[in-house]
Amino acid sequence: MSKCEQCIIRQFNALKSLHKEDLVRITSCKTSKVIKKGAVIFEEGENINGVFCIREGICKLTKLSPNGKEQIVRLVIKGDLLGQRSLVSNEVANLTAVAANDMEVCFIPKQEIVHNLSRNINFSMDMLKSMADELKLSENIIVDMAQKTVKQRLAETLLYLRENFGEDINGFLNIVLTREDYANIVGTATESAIRLLSQFKKEGLIATEGKKIKIENSEALKLVE
């Protein structure tokens, strides 16, 4: 079992502000988990009772609508804390967390986080800041959803993914999603996402190889109308 005091991942989230002794205590009560692609980490309505620190992999935060369609609200990535909001509000999960690829996470029980929130100002300020960032992101997504076309949102999603996950040696996006995932991020039908990706390909904006996607002309993607 790895030690939090020595874990570099905490540099990327609020845990960086914890003191040595707190980290030692967390090490002794945390649990590490390996999660397979597609596995559910927690579901909407579930009591989480802690937060997950993402050591490796990507997780989709989704919500199922009454009509059976799934919306991907946000992607949580390596270094992020998962479940902060529910913990702070002391509520059950509002979203479902599903592994987008194989993941490695540590689960830190609620009382440890609460303990530090109530004693360590730097820690709670960090938490506050990351929540503020998420809020800004969400507000901007609302505006995009309301005012941009599906095509524009898909183009922006591709650019966002490259920005946040980078590309491999051949220029393909490091993150590999199904067409259905793209549709669920953009908020459209799977067929529409497929059709638009085909169109982007035909127009030379992207190249594809199976599920892998490469951005060929980011300037044109930015200008999509």
Partner DNA sequence: TTTAAATAATGATTTTGGTCATATTTTAAA
Partner DNA sequence: TTTAAAATATGACCAAAATCATTATTTAAA
> Where in 39-68 is the site for DNA (CB under 7 A)?
67
Instruction: Look up residue 95 and give its DSSP letter.
Output: S
- Alpha-carbon distance 84 to 95, whole Å? 12
Contact assessment for residue 81 and residue 130, using Cβ atoms and an 8 Å cutoff: yes
Name the token pair of 143: 């505006």
**Candidate list 39, 131, 141, 194; residue touching DNA; CB under 7 A:** 194
142 binds, among its own copies, DNA, none (CB under 5 to 8 A by kind): its own copies
Query: Quick one: what does residue 95 bind among DNA, its own copies, none, with the CB cut-off 5 to 8 Å set by partner type?
Result: its own copies
Q: Which two tokens stand for residue 101?
A: 């690829």
Nearest to 197 by CA among 74, 211, 187: 211
Of 111 and 174, which CB lies nearer to DNA in the complex structure? 174
218 binds, among DNA, its own copies, none (CB under 5 to 8 A by kind): none
What one-letter code names the amino acid at 45? Answer: G
Which residues in 57-77 are b (16+ Cβ under 10 Å) and which e? bbbbbbeeeeeeebbbbbbbb
**Which residue type sits at 23?**
L
x/- string (CB under 7 A) for DNA, residues 133-152? Answer: ----------------xxx-
Q: Residues 40, 41, 42, CA angle at the centre, nearest 5°? A: 95
With CB under 5 to 8 Å by kind, the binding choice for 1 among its own copies, DNA, none is none
Instruction: Identify any residues that bridge with 52 across adjacent strands, giving them in sequence order.
Output: 82, 107
Minimum CB–partner distance for residue 34 and its own copies (Å): 27
- Binding residues for its own copies, rule: CB under 8 A, are 63, 65, 67, 69, 71, 73-74, 84-85, 88-89, 91, 94-95, 117-119, 121, 124-125, 127-129, 131-136, 138-143, 145-148, 187
Window contacting DNA (CB under 7 A); options: 26-34, 54-62, 163-171, 203-211: 203-211
CA distance 209 to 128: 41
> Which residue from 1, 90, 163, 210 is in contact with DNA, where contact means CB under 7 A?
210
73 binds, among DNA, its own copies, none (CB under 5 to 8 A by kind): its own copies
